[in-house]
Amino acid sequence: MLQAITYRLTHRPLQIWLISLSITFVIGLIAMVIVLFQGLQVTHLSDRVPWGLWITLDLSAIALGAGAFTFSAAVYIFRIRSLEILVRPAVFIGFLGYTSAMLVLAMDIGRPDRFWHPLVYWNVHSVLWEVTWCVVLYSMVLMLEVLGVLGESRLGKRWERLRRLGHLAHRMTPFLAILGMGLSLLHQSSLGATYGVLSGRAIWYKPSMPIMFIISAIAGGMSLTMLATMIVGRLRHQRYLPPSVCIGVTKAIGFITLGYLYIKIWDWAVTNYYSHNPDMANMLERLNVTTPYSATFWGIEVVLSGLAPALILLLPNLCERRDLAMLALAAIVFGVIVNRWNVTLSGLVAPPAWSPGVLGNPVAVSYAPSLVELLVTLGILSYALLGFTLGVRYLDLYPRHVRHAADD
């Protein structure tokens, strides 16, 4: 009896994986219900730090979903046909990312019942209004693109109507790719501008914010799509990417990451090294007293998740060393998340000094997410992983069998 159970558990890893994810997803759902009933008092957010873990998750999910528009544009606008195999997983990951983001936003706003207000009550001067519109419209684009995927999957073979709808959606693909690229270039950047436009918070207030956000999103989104593809390939003993495609994409990510670092370093040099902004210096000083901000900025964002993976991804024979490639891609994905956390918290934890006396008395506010915040985050991550696993299994995101002439 016991032997039978242990045999099952050790020989059916997919079942264990799905069951554990379902459990954490249900735990997350319970936490979400608690948030809806109790309100945001169950978080450790405060009037000084009103944005925290959930905004980080929201920003990361959207940034890492950028693979969808990047690969769609590459294939359907720039006609790089060899990347077509990456479009379906990219679009599906994007869909999971954007639905995760909207789910966590519904938790994070104080009045989820008024989620539709930005669509009806307009403030065109608000960068967040523009973000909301773009995210809503782009989610519709992603839904149509996923509909195309559904129609071509085994579900489409079962339900004729789905197949026809999918076919219709698929026919709009070039139009969707153009629309998706436009919307993404807008809101991926404006999410950075959300911080960049705030004149009172010196550490954020700079025009480089939107540019750094879009570039890091493209690198992170491409990395996540590649990483997911390589993980699935490893588990199924398949090589979905011909070596030339693998090398091309990893090289592209490497160069994009280097470009991002170039802008990031100059952004730092201009605002911190070659000039002196008293507010920024003061905020940084206070941040470094209570948080590992500079350590994570240089150690993780710049070196471990920036320069190191970028150089690895530019190695000539990288795609023969898949573990190293996956490690580098994972590092870039991790770096995007750390960056979104650092950006969000840095401007809040060291609030601007407005009182004539505060300048001489540095203060910093502390924030660490509450259990409910962590559980909701866990639930949403489980949703995304569960969705991806089921998608791979039932929606034919990847072809069943592939064989490349130059491979194996």
Q: Which residues form the interface with other proteins (CB under 8 A)?
A: 38-41, 45, 47-48, 50-51, 108-111, 114-115, 117-118, 120-129, 131-132, 157, 160, 163-164, 168, 171-172, 174-175, 179, 194, 197-201, 347-348, 351-352, 354-361
Structure tokens at 65: 């979903």
| Three-state SS at 398 | coil
Nearer to other proteins, 127 or 222 (CB): 127
Distance CA 101, CA 64 (A): 11
Nearer to other proteins, 186 or 318 (CB): 186
Distance CA 376, CA 369 (A): 11
Q: How far is the CB of 155 from other proteins (least distance, A)?
A: 13
Distance CA 327, CA 333 (A): 10
Q: How far is the CB of 124 from other proteins (least distance, A)?
A: 5
| Main-chain phi, psi angles of 114, to 5 degrees | -110, 25
Nearer to other proteins, 248 or 351 (CB): 351
Contacts of range 168-175, beta carbons closer than 8 Å, 24 or more positions apart? 169/144, 169/145, 172/144, 173/72, 173/76, 173/145, 173/148, 174/76, 174/77
| Of 186, 219, 278, 274, nearest in space to 63 by CA | 219
Nearer to other proteins, 140 or 314 (CB): 140
Q: How far is the CB of 259 from other proteins (least distance, A)?
A: 29
Nearer to other proteins, 279 or 389 (CB): 279
Q: How far is the CB of 32 from other proteins (least distance, A)?
A: 15
Nearer to other proteins, 149 or 203 (CB): 203
Q: How far is the CB of 280 from other proteins (least distance, A)?
A: 13
Kindly compute the dihedral angle of the four CA atoms of residues 27, 31, 32, 36, in this order, to the nearest 10 degrees: 150
CA angle 240, 245, 251 (to 5 degrees): 125
Q: How far is the CB of 137 from other proteins (least distance, A)?
A: 9
Nearer to other proteins, 81 or 114 (CB): 114
Structure tokens at 88: 């379906």
Q: What separation in angstroms does the CA of 285 have from each of 58, 96, 294?
A: 28, 38, 10
Distance CA 281, CA 279 (A): 5
Nearer to other proteins, 316 or 360 (CB): 360
Q: How far is the CB of 72 from other proteins (least distance, A)?
A: 15
Nearer to other proteins, 305 or 346 (CB): 346
Distance CA 198, CA 189 (A): 15
| Main-chain phi, psi angles of 126, to 5 degrees | -90, 125
Q: How far is the CB of 125 from other proteins (least distance, A)?
A: 5
Nearer to other proteins, 195 or 398 (CB): 195
Q: How far is the CB of 110 from other proteins (least distance, A)?
A: 2
Q: How far is the CB of 126 from other proteins (least distance, A)?
A: 5
Distance CA 371, CA 322 (A): 36
> Any idea what DSSP says for residue 261?
H
What angle, 0 to 180 degrees and rounded to 10, lies between the N-to-C axes of helices 53-64 and 322-349? Answer: 140
Query: 398 CB contacts (<8 Å, ≥6 apart)?
Result: 85, 88, 89, 229, 232, 233, 236, 238, 240, 392
